[in-house]
Amino acid sequence: NAGVMQNPRHLVRRRGQEARLRCSPMKGHSHVYWYRQLPEEGLKFMVYLQKENIIDESGMPKERFSAEFPKEGPSILRIQQVVRGDSAAYFCASSPGFGTGELFFGEGSRLTVL
């Protein structure tokens, strides 16, 4: 399956711990987007990255959240000192380039903070 791969699919953390979510885009895709889906709400844009560059992070909370997309390896969304309000489904999407008209979403990582 050459689709967008996210792991872990489910992650449980206690308040104050760190959560790391990984996303491997589709083969040949160099653009990655992270979205968050809270219960009963639509998906919210968080950040847009290209290899080694953050293009748009206007949807990222100012503190505790960071994202990277290194030259080699998956994109990582990192949440430090998690709180219960961080519990959500985090989706990664990829595209082959800018303006290509389609985002391919992964199956998501579901974070539960106890």
Partner 1 sequence: TQLLEQSPQFLSIQEGENLTVYCNSSSVFSSLQWYRQEPGEGPVLLVTVVTGGEVKKLKRLTFQFGDARKDSSLHITAAQPGDTGLYLCAGAITTDSWGKLQFGAGTQVVVTP
Locate tokens 């082959």: which residue?
96
39 is a contact residue toward partner 1 (CB under 8 A): no
Instruction: Tell me, residue by residue from 51 to 90, as one string, x for binding to partner 1 by CB under 8 A and - for no binding.
Output: -----x-xx-------------------------------
- Specify the residue, 59 or 74, whose C-beta has the smaller distance to partner 1: 59
Kindly write down the DSSP assignment for every residue of 4-56, as one continuous string.
Answer: -EEE-SEEEE-TT--EEEEEEPPTT--EEEEEEE-TTS-EEEEEEEETTEEEE
Nearest CB to partner 1, comparing residues 19 and 32? 32
95 within 8 A of 104, measured Cβ to Cβ: yes
How many whole angstroms separate alpha carbon 11 and alpha carbon 113?
Answer: 8
Q: Which of 8, 52, 73, 98 binds partner 1 (CB under 8 A)?
A: 98
What residues line the site for partner 1 (CB under 8 A)?
4, 31, 33, 35, 40-45, 48, 56, 58-59, 91, 93, 95, 98-99, 101-108
